[in-house]
Structure 1
């Protein structure tokens, strides 16, 4: 999935006052969902009717948290985006401390299957996650 290069003028993650207003806890939910499953992405609202693209604002917040989602890591690997793109996006978005982020051990990750083949949540799973020190 392509990634926008910069947060749009009214990206909900922007910190400069131009952000579209969401329900007060919606940003928390989005970020907690991305932290819980790095295979998830957040679609840029400007691309919902076009070719859907990952939101650069969400990627910027996740970079500040040291937890790039898989789509961003793949984007770096294949040259879709650059470290400079991510750093520029991170400079335009809200600070993680302004969000209510669930502690790592409280996040639920659906990554195990029961004998019946249904997904079972795993609490605090660190599988397939990059290190805190280098999200790239």
Structure 2
């Protein structure tokens, strides 16, 4: 019979799972970096992320990318953003999802239309205005 192990609760203190604005900003910026700017293509110095790579998988890749965008929407809701801003964010995710559904050609618009980066800009504007203590200097 297998012996059960307990997870040490102290491990969760090290993860950014808190609901404060700074933790939300950290998570959202990390998602955007992975989805849009994970690696730089040599020669053209253009960053690409998991969103473009997932579009190589027909249909399913677009749904996974939309799920990451939906998580950013969830975080925006937790931050108390306006419905108008969240509707703009949902529109960005929807356009990205719809263009990504086109087999073969869906990679090209996803390479240029970066919905997660656009949504990060919207969230940063909200955080800078309503939670000024979370502002970080961009380098």
* TM interval, short-chain normalised: under 0.3
Considering only CA atoms, is the larger Rg found in Structure 1 or Structure 2? Answer: 2
Q: TM-score, normalised by structure 1?
A: 0.25
Q: TM-score, normalised by structure 2?
A: 0.25
